Amino acid sequence: MLRKQSPILLMLLVLVFALAACGTKVTRMDVEEGKDLSGRWNDTDSRLVAEEMVKDCLERPWLNQYSMKTGKIPDVIVGRVANRSTEHISTETFIKDLERSLLNSGRVAFVASSTERDGVREERADQAQHATAESAKAAGREAGADFMLIGSINSIIDREGKRQVVYYQVDLELVDMVDNRKVWIGNKKIKKFVERSKLGY
């Protein structure tokens, strides 16, 4: 009886070990390391596009012209960056990449977004009731933005069989809050060739 069952038992053991070998494996990566798995927009695209576009923005004449005219660095706010692509893109992550690159340049100051301001105003109102007079921060002293950065992310996919070319275009514009004049327009393009395995679905 045992001999009849041993081939079946052996097969079951082999199957268990095979399934165990197919388990999930996690390898930690450096956050700066780029790795494309699907060909879709990813964190590397977001970071590199933000860095390159901010570099271009800060090298244009508008910044020196403003500083010479006013004697100060401009206050900037990031407005809406619309996702008009064919896939889900976290525009919030991209906006934070833009803010970080601009702020870390030391050449502009940043004003909190409308959502962030609501939270700060609630805290200020709470301080008015509960904090000491010396430490409470008064309302009505917020800095107004001099410029607003707005834009969009678009994509085009050209697909045939298991091959496709994915094209992204990011457009950003810096608008003067006084007169709505556009003082800078930036554009960044990304093109990826994706070839699926012949064994894939």
pLDDT band at 2 (very low <50, low <70, confident <90, very high): very low
d(CA 179, CA 23): 60
d(CA 78, CA 145): 10
Q: Is the pLDDT of residue 40 over 60?
A: yes
Burial 43-67 (b: 16+ CB within 10 A, else e): eebbbebbeebbeebbeeebbeebe
Closest to 62 (Cα-Cα) out of 99, 107, 104: 107
Between 30 and 62, residue with greater pLDDT: 62
What is the number of structural domains in the chain?
1
User: Which domain CATH number covers 167?
Assistant: 3.40.50
Mean residue pLDDT across the chain: 85
- Is residue 93 a part of any domain in this protein? yes
Return the pLDDT at 112: 86
What confidence tens digit (pLDDT) does each residue in 50-80 have?
999 999 999 999 999 999 999 999 999 999 9
**Is 0.95 topped by the overall pTM?**
no
Our measurement of the distance from residue 128's CA atom to the centroid of its chain's CA atoms, rounded to an integer in Å, reads 36
- Is residue 139 a part of any domain in this protein? yes
Q: Are 94 and 80 in contact (CB under 8 A)?
A: no
Percent of the chain with pLDDT over 90: 49
Backbone angles phi, psi at 17, to 5 degrees: -65, -35
- Is residue 131 a part of any domain in this protein? yes
- Is residue 65 a part of any domain in this protein? yes
Backbone angles phi, psi at 195, to 5 degrees: -125, 115
- Is residue 133 a part of any domain in this protein? yes
Domain that holds residue 168: 52-195
- Is residue 108 a part of any domain in this protein? yes
CA distance readout (Å), 178 to 51, 54, 56, 71? 27, 22, 23, 17
- Is residue 63 a part of any domain in this protein? yes
pLDDT band at 198 (very low <50, low <70, confident <90, very high): low
Which residues contact residue 181 at a Cβ distance below 8 angstroms, ignoring those fewer than 6 apart?
175
The whole-number average pLDDT for the span 165-185 is: 96
Q: Is the pLDDT of residue 140 over 90?
A: no
| DSSP secondary structure, 79-120, as one string | EEEEEESSS---HHHHHHHHHHHHHHTTSSEE---HHHHHHH
- Is residue 60 a part of any domain in this protein? yes
